[in-house]
Each structure stands twice: as structure tokens, then as C-alpha cells.
Amino acid sequence: MRWKINGSVIVEIGSKMVYNWCLNKDMRPWSLQTTFSDIERKIEQVGSVVFSMAD
């Protein structure tokens, strides 16, 4: 059986700096590299992820 899921996950982040860390790997603090590596692996499992800024 093959499942195809089409949905959205909304993650609220507290600052523009964190948003930029998600978009630009070069700006990420070294202390958070393990966390971002885990996020990258999960994004690869999901397939398509889009980041956007809320007003």
C-alpha cells in the first residue's frame, strides 16, 4: 500500500534570525549544527519543505 500525503506543517519561530538560519546554512551557529543536521534529514524524508515569514 502506498500513502501519498499532501499537507502543511506550520512552525512558529520567534525571530527573523532563526528564520534566516533555516534558509542560509552559512549563518547557523556552530552550537546548533547537530540540531540543523537532524532537521535536514527529516526534510529529506518529507520531500518538499517551504519556509515563509508570517506577518
Q: Name the residue ranges covered by the structural domains of the chain.
A: 16-43
Q: What is the pLDDT of residues 41-55, one digit of tens each?
A: 877 777 777 777 766
Q: What is the pLDDT of residues 5-37, one digit of tens each?
A: 666 656 666 677 777 777 787 777 776 778 778
- Cα separation, 55 vs 37, in Å, equals 28
- Cα separation, 39 vs 31, in Å, equals 14
User: DSSP string of 32-46?
Assistant: GHHHHHHHHHHHHHH
- Cα separation, 45 vs 19, in Å, equals 21
Contact 21, 32 (CB under 8 A): yes
